Amino acid sequence: MTKKKKIIISLTVLAVLVVLAATGWLAAYYFYRPDYLESDAFFDVSAVSYGEEITVMSYNVRYLSAIDCGKKSWFYRADLVTQTIARSAPDLIGFQEVTSEHEKYLTEHLNGYSFHIVYRDDFAAKEATAIAYRTDRFDLESEGHFWLSETPDIQSKNWKSERYRDANYVVLTEKATGKRFAFYNTHLDAKSALARDNGMAVLLEQTSRTPSLPIILTGDMNDCEDSPMYVRATEAGLCDSAKIAEKTFNADSVTFTGYGKSTSPRIDFCFLSKGIKVSSYAIDNTLINGDYPSDHFPVVVKILL
């Protein structure tokens, strides 16, 4: 077989796969979207009582993808995400891969939260590391956003990062106690280990601007415990909540599931500054009627400031 013929065959196969993916996505769009638009799956966190503990969730909700057909479609999964969040009733949520479509649904269906959402770029498929916090429990002192690059205040990327990477943060005061803390949320690069390591360095530098405050850092770190990123975070004084928790649940589970196809170590984390106590750490690997709410399981941590 000639080289030219091989190229033609490869391009033909690729074209067929693209057409099949597009057909599957459109089928899911038109099949599930009418119910999605009329969804009655709401959760009101203010209807749930709380005590001293603060429940923190890190949750990658999976962006809109052309290859997510059938029950992998966001238009099917959205209500499952709401049910998953309702199960833990988190006070703080760090979301990853939130698009404008996700934002509209989440802000309408999750009541009792305020959202801080700044997108990492201006592209049509833009994503945000969105933050949600319980408004009857916390007052907002300040909020901000920066890029994980050599110029954090300017939209930019470095260190062979595949995409623009960023972080959002809020400084909150607990109304009942007056305790203040900073909550950061991020999503490190999927392709470049160098970008992940340096991205963590930028995060640590940014958090050092509030040295007197307890720090909570959630995110899809796209890396595991033996990585330079993880070592940098822990050597700088951040604690992996899974390692200091009094109780753990499913701590050996994967966090990235690939809808059941992945067996990689956990890559979603909740890091804490020293002095924050962790009563429990859990990876919520619950399926709903056998279906995956996302291609990640959320991390749920109960802390005491």
- Any idea what the CATH number is for the domain that residue 200 is in? 3.60.10.10
Of 122-126, 134-138, 141-145, 154-158, the one with minimum mean pLDDT is 122-126
Q: Are 112 and 44 in contact (CB under 8 A)?
A: yes
pLDDT tens profile 85-129: 999 999 999 999 999 999 999 999 999 999 999 999 999 889 999
Could you tell me which of 109, 90, 96, 107 has the C-alpha nearest to residue 61? 96
Could you tell me which of 267, 95, 25 has the C-alpha nearest to residue 105? 95
Cα angle value 187/231/274 (rounded, 5°) = 85
The tally of domains found in the chain comes to 1
Q: Which residue stretches of 38-157 are H helix?
A: 74-88, 100-109
d(CA 109, CA 96): 17
Domain extent for 117:
3-304
Q: How confident is the model at residue 16 (pLDDT cuts 50, 70, 90)?
A: very low
Could you tell me which of 22, 112, 32, 106 has the C-alpha nearest to residue 62? 106
Residue 242 has a pLDDT of 98
Q: Are 291 and 78 in contact (CB under 8 A)?
A: no
Q: What is the mean pLDDT of the segment spanning 50-58?
A: 98
